[in-house]
Chain A
Amino acid sequence: MTWPALLSLAAGTYLIRLLGLLLPGRVRVSAHVERYFDLGATALLLALVAVSTFTQDGGFAGWARPLGVVVGAVAAWRRVPFVLVVILAAGTTALLRLAGLP
């Protein structure tokens, strides 16, 4: 992450936030568009989850990492506290690597 990239992201994010506050009260984003913004955010973040779970340098990341993520996902689904989710995922992957799984 370079400074120009960081500052572009910061400035763009700020302008998006400010725009919503400054537009006159009668302007409304239609429910249809708002839904696509929300679904788009979900799409981007789940794509990120999937790519960072399964791939490394354009190839398969090995089994230790996805198995750790699965353990974390099940824990999160069972409403285990966030900190524990992270520790369980990392711990599983670390143990699998210790056992020789890449």
Chain B
Amino acid sequence: MDVGSSDRTLREDARDALALAVAVSVVAVSFGALATAAGLPLLITMAMSLLVLAGGAQFLAVAIIAAGGGAVAAVAGGLLLNLRHLPYGLAVADVVGDRWPAKVFGAHLLIDEVVAFSRARGSGARARRAYWTSGILLATFWNAGTLLGVMAGSAIPDPSVFGVDAAFPAALLALLLPALRQSDARRVGLASAVIAVASTPFLAPGLPVLAGLLGLGVAGRRASS
């Protein structure tokens, strides 16, 4: 590969990473707005996006708290959800960097989209640059989007009039659709949804979501599609 085409590859990667970051910022705006609608103060919402930097766990924790669940259930749910980052880390350990400062900072950027973006570009120098470029862009846009969402959310006096409570599950479902292409994921997801809703009248707030993990019981063997 000559220098010219390599430059072009890098430019294209940077452009794709930017597009990905913009898409992610839309999700961040909805997080900021919904967290505000759920009564979270600005500082807590921003600190979540800055320090947790994991969309699914942030949505889950806020929803559990908003439903009246305890902090323990919210933290447990978020951490269980983030366990999937462990195999991700193993998969991209070489790409992130060899020295410990790279690992210490790079660990915080270990986001689903960043891992996918980087792994799609092999395991060499290009993948490393893709990891850091997309990681820094996503982290920046995630926080900027959250702030924008908090400001938009504060401007809405009564969120239920605008159907904001329907926007949250719809947004989450849209993000989950790619994973649901697998038949075992659909099976587990459906069982989990039924268990969670059916147990709601009987369990303390927050726990029905965790009870959804029992849906793993119908995982069966891996199917090919």
Contacts and interface: CB of A to CB of B under 8 A. Distances in A.
Q: Is the interface of A mostly helix, strand, loop or mixed?
A: helix
Interface string A59-91: 101001110110111011100001101111111
Contacts of B27: 82
Contact of A40 (B92, B190, B216): B216
Interface in A21-41: 21-23, 25, 27-29, 33-41
B121 interface: no
Interface stretch (B4-12, B13-21, B136-144, B200-208): B200-208
Nearest to B174: A76
Contacts, number: 300
A95 B169 CA distance: 17
Given A1-B44, A49-B176, A41 B84 contact: yes
Contacts of A93: 163, 165-166
Interface in A1-31: 1-10, 12-14, 16-23, 25, 27-29
23 contacts: A5-B75, A7-B51, A9-B52, A9-B79, A12-B75, A13-B54, A18-B103, A20-B89, A20-B93, A29-B90, A37-B83, A38-B179, A40-B81, A40-B213, A42-B180, A44-B209, A44-B212, A46-B190, A49-B169, A49-B176, A72-B167, A72-B169, A76-B170
B82 A13 contact: yes
Interface residues of A, number: 77
B74 A13 contact: no
Contacts of B63: 48, 51-52
Given A36-B219, A42-B188, A23 B44 contact: no
Contact of A4 (B71, B168, B185): B71
Contact of B52 (A4, A10, A35): A10
B210 A44 contact: yes
B193 A90 contact: no
A35 B103 contact: no
Contact of A43 (B93, B110, B213): B213
A43 B189 contact: yes
B136 to A, nearest CB: 15
B197 A42 contact: no
A49 B90 contact: no
B169 to A, nearest CB: 4
Give 6 closest A-B pairs by Cβ, nearest first. A20-B89, A47-B212, A72-B170, A93-B163, A68-B166, A89-B170
B71 A2 contact: yes
Given A9-B57, A20-B110, A94-B162, 12 more contacts: A1-B48, A4-B71, A5-B65, A5-B75, A9-B74, A10-B47, A13-B53, A23-B93, A39-B185, A58-B201, A65-B163, A86-B167
Nearest to B192: A43
B162 A90 contact: yes
Contact of A89 (B84, B166, B176): B166
Contacts of A3: 44, 47
